[in-house]
Amino acid sequence: GESVGLHLPTLSVQEGDNSIINCAYSNSASDYFIWYKQESGKGPQFIIDIRSNMDKRQGQRVTVLLNKTVKHLSLQIAATQPGDSAVYFCAENGLSGNQFYFGTGTSLTVIP
């Protein structure tokens, strides 16, 4: 089966600092990757995505980096704010293209 993992289950950062959340994937055939944010009591919310023909993609305060050589994905959040406190999941589309496999999540806590 698919294996999507995260290096650290929890991460604490000071407000205003940059956050980096990492994710490793195992399926070299995956060509689409997504980061989701899940706040307590809510469903996951799309943050940013990247296709395998790209190495980097930027959004508003977020950047996703993809290293296909080592099958590694990272999410960078600039100037982290208290509202960024949540669990972050990476997901990949695996072999089928329509089934998305999620990692176990990293809990980000922002310290005021």
**Contact residues: other proteins, CB under 8 A:** 1-2, 4, 32, 34, 36, 41-46, 49, 89, 91, 93, 97-105
Instruction: Please tell me the distance from the alpha carbon of residue 110 to that of residue 112, in angstroms, as a whole number.
Output: 6
102 near 6, Cβ under 8 Å? Answer: no
Based on CB atoms, which residue is closest to other proteins, 16 or 52? 52
Considering all CA atoms of the chain, what is the largest pairwise distance in Å, rounded to the nearest integer?
42
DSSP-derived letter for residue 84 is G
Burial class (CB in 10 A: 0-12, 13-18, 19+), 92: buried
Quote the least distance from Cβ 98 to other proteins, whole Å.
5
Quote the least distance from Cβ 99 to other proteins, whole Å.
6
Quote the least distance from Cβ 22 to other proteins, whole Å.
15
Based on CB atoms, which residue is closest to other proteins, 9 or 16? 9
* Residue 66: strand, helix, or coil: strand
Based on CB atoms, which residue is closest to other proteins, 63 or 107? 107
Quote the least distance from Cβ 59 to other proteins, whole Å.
13
